[in-house]
Amino acid sequence: MLRRTWKAYELNYKNSYCFDIEHVYLLMKKRTDTLVKQLFEEAFNQGNLAKVDDVLAPDHYAHITIGGAPNGPQGLKLMIAIFRTAFPDLLCTVDDEIVEGDRFAVRWTMRGTHKGPFLGNQPTGGPVEMQGMIFARLENGRMVEDWTLIDQMGILQQIGVIPPNIRKER
């Protein structure tokens, strides 16, 4: 008797409004996964800057701009162009992603070889690896605002602009 009751509850649960919300959440997560991974793969890795217009809303606002880039899709396109010029073999990967409602957080890694000028610094020919995080909010399937952090100190140390961090032994 208990098993039949549980089965009936389970069937009703799957056909209830709660199941629909779960389904919408899963679709939203899939959309976000696809959105971020497509942005990295197509815009950063392949240089298809038109992808930025698909992902960012026209009035997108970056709370923390990188290198003084303007807000909106044009700012991200400028940043991608700067990175792809300095690191033509740029490869961005998503390491972690968390989705909650209309917000998501992504931890990512960029790798490349410093073969072009970067923020006024001549190429070193050396490998560079940098990590970053983005926290963003979506509306109508597009990013409307974000908070992005990149390990800028690490980049500058790897290309020799800032000396490597030396720890003093106690």
Q: pLDDT tens for residues 90-106?
A: 999 999 999 888 999 99
C-beta pairs of 119-126 under 8 Å, 24+ apart in sequence: 119/67, 119/82, 119/86, 121/159, 121/160, 121/161, 123/86, 124/159, 124/160, 126/158, 126/159
The predicted pLDDT at position 74 comes to 93
The predicted pLDDT at position 13 comes to 45
State pTM to two decimals: 0.75
The predicted pLDDT at position 37 comes to 86
The predicted pLDDT at position 1 comes to 40
Domain range enclosing 147: 2-158
The one-letter code for the residue type at 154 is G
Within a domain: residue 167?
Answer: no
Confidence of residue 9 (pLDDT cuts 50, 70, 90): very low
Number of domains in the chain: 1
Within a domain: residue 168?
Answer: no
Within a domain: residue 81?
Answer: yes
Within a domain: residue 164?
Answer: no
The predicted pLDDT at position 8 comes to 44
Within a domain: residue 135?
Answer: yes
Within a domain: residue 120?
Answer: yes
Within a domain: residue 166?
Answer: no
The predicted pLDDT at position 165 comes to 73
Between 24 and 72, the more confident residue is 72
Within a domain: residue 165?
Answer: no
The predicted pLDDT at position 6 comes to 42
Say which CATH number the domain at 106 has: 3.10.450.50
